[in-house]
Amino acid sequence: MGIPENIEEIREKITNAAKACGRSVQEITLVGVTKTVDTASIIEAVNCGIATVGENKAQELCEKYDTLAGLCKIHFIGHLQTNKVKYVIDKVDMIESVDSLRLAQEIDVRAGAINRSMDILAEVNIGKERSKHGVLEEDLEDFLKNMSKLSNVKIRGLMTVLPVESSFTEHGRSFFERMYQLFIDIRSKKKDNINMDFLSMGMTNDYETAIEYGANIVRIGTGIFGRRNY
């Protein structure tokens, strides 16, 4: 199947998953994950209505930026080294993967220098994996509180990547459920500059389940573009 058919099928599944839990499909953003994907394929996806793409490497994003600029929104979704912030700060609409205060502080400084504020999500390591980035849930509220003091960083919600092996399992469900609980708990506290507008979770293997648990950003790569060639 080609990119248009893949997108159509995913949209249908998102619609059905949203309906099944009484949610509106309009509130769910499909981010096309374009890491390793060539620009011709990205343009094809954008022409099929993909309005936001996700990239996970600063250098790759910079290489593709001339093609993508103005075509679609760009979310940064990978681990961002502090020294790379300066390369992406003027190119992305959101950094979904903020996983340390040091990174948030650098985003604050670099955003301020170009007179903008940056929308960010806090990445949560919900599976407590040593190999993964993201803050642990027990540290999340302190992390958000510290970030909320940064004037050029706008906290918009939470993001997570589940442990690979937990897709399709009850474990995966419990992680999604836990994320949703954190999301609504924090939202209900209504703290200054801690907005819980977006819950970004769910990838090719588990986005329908994520929607069941309140995801309103799903990040899909393989399902749209096929297997990645690294």
Q: Which residues lie near ligand PLP (CB under 6 A)?
A: 33, 35, 56, 77-78, 161, 203-204, 219-223
Distance of closest approach, residue 188 Cβ to ligand PLP, in angstroms: 27
Q: Which is nearer to ligand PLP, 97 or 152 (CB)?
A: 97
Q: How many CB atoms lie within 10 A of CB 114?
A: 11
Q: Which is nearer to ligand PLP, 78 or 157 (CB)?
A: 78
Distance of closest approach, residue 193 Cβ to ligand PLP, in angstroms: 24
34 close to 53: Cβ distance less than 8 angstroms:
yes
Distance of closest approach, residue 123 Cβ to ligand PLP, in angstroms: 9
Q: Which is nearer to ligand PLP, 118 or 224 (CB)?
A: 224
Give dist(CA 151, CA 35) in Å, integer. Answer: 30
Q: Nearest-CB residue to ligand PLP?
A: 221
Distance of closest approach, residue 79 Cβ to ligand PLP, in angstroms: 9
Whole-number CA gyration radius for the chain: 17
Give dist(CA 193, CA 216) in Å, integer. Answer: 20
180 close to 126: Cβ distance less than 8 angstroms:
no
Q: Which is nearer to ligand PLP, 33 or 53 (CB)?
A: 33
77 close to 56: Cβ distance less than 8 angstroms:
yes
Q: Which is nearer to ligand PLP, 169 or 204 (CB)?
A: 204
Give dist(CA 200, CA 210) in Å, integer. Answer: 9
Distance of closest approach, residue 155 Cβ to ligand PLP, in angstroms: 18
The token pair at 180 is: 């949703």
* Side chain identity, residue 11: R
Q: Which is nearer to ligand PLP, 150 or 203 (CB)?
A: 203
* Side chain identity, residue 193: N
Distance of closest approach, residue 163 Cβ to ligand PLP, in angstroms: 13
* Side chain identity, residue 130: R
